Amino acid sequence: MTDHPSSGGHTCNDCACQQQCLLGRLDPQTRAAWRGHLTERRFRKGEMLQRQGESIHSVQVVKIGTLLVQRRGDDGVEHPVGMAGCCEALGAPALLQQPADLSYVAVTPGRVCQLDLAPLLGAGRQSQGEFLLELAREQLNANARLADWGRIARIRGVVGQLAGALLQLAELQRSTLVRLPSHTVLAALLATTRESVARALALLAQEQGVLRRDRWHCEIQRAPLLALTRGGRRSAANLYQARAAARTTPAAQAPVHAAL
């Protein structure tokens, strides 16, 4: 990862993510002892923060930003399996002297807090136990999130799948104002095309599931999106049929279909 200057005097006590971050929840004395080994770093969009199969020399905790999680298949190609965001911990396999099990690629710019492994491996039993407990909790949460991303693949239709993905992004970014990844990233994640993602976003706006603020941001409306993930309201197929009917219906019948 490219090195960038740290933010200087900022500490965990100054961080808005402290209560959600495993580093922020550690005993203040432990954090103070490790301060010289803890660095805040910036990363760029498209940057690889961790690559599957490579050795890991630090634990990284995402402070700001969104990452695409990838796993290499039997075909030797890395395929998207989910997304990660604020307070996600990278590097746990290193504590078991194992290589990285997943790859993480930044889809937005952001920052991570990076802790070198040396002080952690040489720490006293109490400090090490406290850290491992917090890390285990984060890994449980990360596994649950990956399961949620896997569940999205079982939703019928691209519109419902995209609704589910937006709900997950809102959870990751801890905001209903979601910063959207590119259509290319969303298409790869949902195993569809960029054109299908663009159409699905337009249909979600039509169903009042999202309100576009600009090219990269939308305000999500949880209830309509949840209904679409559950097959409620109008299904994805019905939405596409409704739009096609609106384009082909004669002008004289337009008022009948105005609600579409």
Same fold yes or no, 12-152 and 158-257 = no
Q: Are strands 103-106 and 110-116 parallel, antiparallel or unpaired?
A: unpaired
What dotted CATH number matches 158-257?
1.10.10.10
Amino acid in position 184: T
pTM above 0.85, yes or no: no
What dotted CATH number matches 12-152?
2.60.120.10
Residue ranges covered by each domain of the chain: 12-152, 158-257
241-259-250 Cα angle (round to 5) = 65
DSSP 8-state secondary structure symbol assigned to residue 215: S
Please tell me the distance from the alpha carbon of residue 72 to that of residue 2, in angstroms, as a whole number. Answer: 23
pLDDT reported for residue 153: 92
- Distance from CA of residue 167 to its chain's centroid? 10
Residues 108, 62: contact at Cβ < 8 Å? no
The edge-to-edge listing of strands for the beta sheet with 58-64 is 38-43, 110-116, 58-64, 89-90
Tens of pLDDT, residue by residue, the chain (260 residues): 445 434 444 567 677 677 778 888 888 887 777 778 889 999 999 999 999 999 998 999 999 999 999 999 899 999 999 999 999 999 999 888 899 999 999 999 999 999 888 767 766 666 677 888 888 899 999 999 999 999 999 999 999 999 999 999 999 998 999 999 999 999 999 999 999 999 999 999 999 999 999 989 999 999 999 999 998 555 444 555 545 544 444 443 333 333 32
**14-27 burial code (b ≥16 CB/10 A, e <16):** ebebeeebbbbbbe
Residues 204, 233: contact at Cβ < 8 Å? no
